Copies of this chain bind each other. A is one copy, B any other.
Amino acid sequence: MEKPYAIGIDIGGTNTVFGVVDKRGHIIAQGSIKTAAHKEINEYVTNLSSALQEVIDQVGGADNIKGIGVGAPNGNFFTGCIEFAPNLPWKGLIPLAQMLSDRIKVPVSLTNDANAAAIGEMTYGAARGMKDFIVITLGTGVGSGIVVNGQLVYGHDGFAGELGHTTIRRTNGRLCGCGRKGCLETYTSATGVARTAKEFLTSRKDESILRNVNIDEITSKDVAEAAQQGDTLAKEIFEYTGQILGEAFADFVAFSSPEAIILFGGLTKAGSLIFNPVKRHMEESMLPIFRNKVKLLMSELKESDAAVLGASALGWEVKEF
């Protein structure tokens, strides 16, 4: 009999969230533990395994679980390791997939969070039925999951799809956390939007609701709220962000000619404020043969469940022991 459930685990810097998911993308049982509270990886895996066992028991035991998918920062699909993740408590190479499958006795696959989002869109979301698409995650950073011929693009080393670190400004580019300058994510992540707000407010003199906020604490949410109230400067911040994203997307299209680019993550809450300028600049910037052919879509995965669903989608694809 085909096993009816997969488990998705999303490992974030603060929390680890997991759920048992059925084939239609419904979360049947769920739980979470604190990631940051576990400075030692063995202790973390022990506590995670106990918490997982509880939800597994709720659905009739491990025999009902096809596989476990894990989305984690710097997760490498090929090795099953978390590799040198700057925002997690454990340093170096962590063979998490192996450690977890040793305890739960269910096959475990691991990838990074953006790849998990892409598989989630393909399995349950906006990319159902598509064989060629790109998911762009707009959160604290900018990540990407790329699907070509119905398969996730991992590259020869498992690290493909770092589109947040393509260089979008080659002169006077913003300094990126990666040590280079001008990376896409320095402009178009939630953090990038806040940086733009700071720049605009410092270099310009025009009035703005945003001048009521402490300039060092402005968030992309503040900018979105101001723009929704009609604030001109705030709207221009989104126009600026959307232009840079749209120009970058035109280059991504020249690479893999996807059927769709799907936006995912916190910044998409700004809705049409970000969607419209991205769409307009993407079309304007594209090579003529690609114009009016590539869909720009918002993720269809429910925000609070998306990370778990995405990871669980990987659980359906694990190879049996």
Please report A residues at the B interface, Cβ cutoff 8 Å: 130-132, 146, 148-149, 151, 153-163, 165-171, 178-180, 247, 250-252, 254-259, 285, 287-290, 293
Contact of A250 among B167, B168, B250, B258 (CB under 8 A): B167
**Pairs A–B under 8 Å by Cβ, sample size 7:** A148-B148, A148-B149, A156-B257, A159-B289, A160-B256, A180-B285, A251-B251
Flag if B155 contacts A132 (CB, 8 Å).
yes
Flag if B166 contacts A251 (CB, 8 Å).
yes
**CA A251 – CA B180 in complex, angstroms?**
12
Flag if B257 contacts A157 (CB, 8 Å).
yes
List of B residues within 8 angstroms of A290 by Cβ: 157, 159, 162
Flag if A167 contacts B252 (CB, 8 Å).
no
Contact of A255 among B132, B161, B179, B288 (CB under 8 A): B161
Flag if B166 contacts A255 (CB, 8 Å).
yes
List of B residues within 8 angstroms of A166 by Cβ: 251, 254-255
**CA A159 – CA B286 in complex, angstroms?**
13
A227 to chain B, nearest CB (A): 25
Contact of A159 among B151, B178, B257, B259 (CB under 8 A): B257
A284 to chain B, nearest CB (A): 9
**CA A285 – CA B176 in complex, angstroms?**
13
Flag if B170 contacts A170 (CB, 8 Å).
yes
Given known A162-B287, A255-B252, contact A293–B157 (CB-CB < 8 A): yes
Q: A259's closest neighbor in chain B, by CB?
A: B156
Contact of A132 among B156, B168, B251, B256 (CB under 8 A): B156
A26 to chain B, nearest CB (A): 29
> Assuming A148-B151, A155-B258, A159-B290, what are 15 further A-B pairs, CB within 8 angstroms?
A130-B156, A132-B156, A146-B255, A149-B153, A155-B256, A156-B258, A160-B255, A161-B255, A161-B257, A165-B287, A167-B251, A170-B247, A180-B285, A252-B255, A255-B255
List of B residues within 8 angstroms of A146 by Cβ: 255-256
Given known A167-B251, A170-B169, A170-B247, contact A287–B153 (CB-CB < 8 A): no
List of B residues within 8 angstroms of A162 by Cβ: 254-255, 257, 287, 289-290
Given known A159-B290, A255-B252, A285-B167, contact A151–B149 (CB-CB < 8 A): yes
A18 to chain B, nearest CB (A): 27
A275 to chain B, nearest CB (A): 21
Q: A166's closest neighbor in chain B, by CB?
A: B251
Contact of A287 among B178, B250, B257 (CB under 8 A): B178
Flag if B155 contacts A287 (CB, 8 Å).
no
